[in-house]
Amino acid sequence: MVRVIKFITGNEQKVKEAKGIFEKFGIELEHIDLGYPEIQGDLEDVAKYGAKYAASKLKGPVIVEDAGLFIKALNWFPGTYSSYVQETLTNKGILKLMNDVEDRYAEFRSVVGYCTPKSEPEIFLGTVSGHIAYKEHGNHGFAYDPLFIPKGYDKTFGELETSKKNEFSHRYRSLEKFALWLNEMQRD
Ligand code: IMP
């Protein structure tokens, strides 16, 4: 059964990744670039609020996704400020902050929020662990990808093809959880 899900985001890269991921689950994505208010709070709060807002605006079921890079040695910065920090400090600024830092543990987190006009939002968290490289590598992907070396690899996300990143990324894990849940819900 092919189902169509409206994905609300302004980020084309996310759409490209999500389309590749959903193919495996027989879900088709309809991309809608509808802005929604990003409230102060953690990823879960932002995803819940955004999904509820968009479902009521569009009068139908929607998903939104909120993600970020969390660096342990920086007290989990930039975290929920990832988007702003990427535009202002950039990857070069992050590398400067990490200059003498030995513990380079970091994780990407992604939260998918699903909501219909008649229900409360459901959320699905995906994380991937890794560490921060000493310089940028690769030009695949977007934003922090050239900085992030996933655990078990010696390459950054920026050096991996999107199809490879899509096999195990934070976004793959949150969207997979959502897709499995949706399949389960629609079984009867
Ligand atoms: P958003 O608020 O969910 O759109 O994402 C916050 C920011 O996190 C994005 O603007 C990117 O800077 C960063 N980000 C989220 N996911 C990824 C990813 O998969 N790779 C690299 N950067 C990401």
Could you tell me the CATH number of the domain that includes residue 50? 3.90.950.10
Per-residue pLDDT of 52-111, as tens digits, reads 999 999 999 999 999 999 999 999 999 999 999 999 999 999 999 999 999 999 999 999
Give residue 52's domain range.
3-187
- For residue 114, pLDDT beyond 70: yes
Cis-peptide into 78, omega within 30 deg: yes
The pLDDT, as a whole number, for residue 1 is: 56
Q: How many helices (H) and strands (E) does the chain have?
A: 6, 7
Q: How far is CA 85 from CA 4, 6, 18, 103, in A?
A: 33, 28, 23, 21
Nearest CA residue ID for atom 10, ligand 1: 83
- For residue 44, pLDDT beyond 90: yes
Nearest CA residue ID for atom 20, ligand 1: 145
Q: What is the distance in A from the centroid of ligand 1 to the CA of 12?
A: 11
Alpha helix ranges (H) inside the chain: 12-23, 43-58, 82-88, 90-97, 162-168, 170-185
Q: How large is the C-alpha radius of gyration of the chain? A: 17
Catalytic machinery residues: 66
* Cα gap 178→63, rounded to integer Å: 9
Q: What is the longest distance spanned by two Cα atoms in the chain?
A: 56
The pLDDT, as a whole number, for residue 90 is: 98
Please work out whether the CB of residue 66 comes within 6 Å of at least one atom of ligand 1.
yes
**63 within 8 A of 114, measured Cβ to Cβ:** yes
pTM score: 0.95
Number of domains in the chain: 1
Per-residue pLDDT of 127-162, as tens digits, reads 999 999 999 999 999 999 999 999 999 999 999 999
- For residue 188, pLDDT beyond 80: no
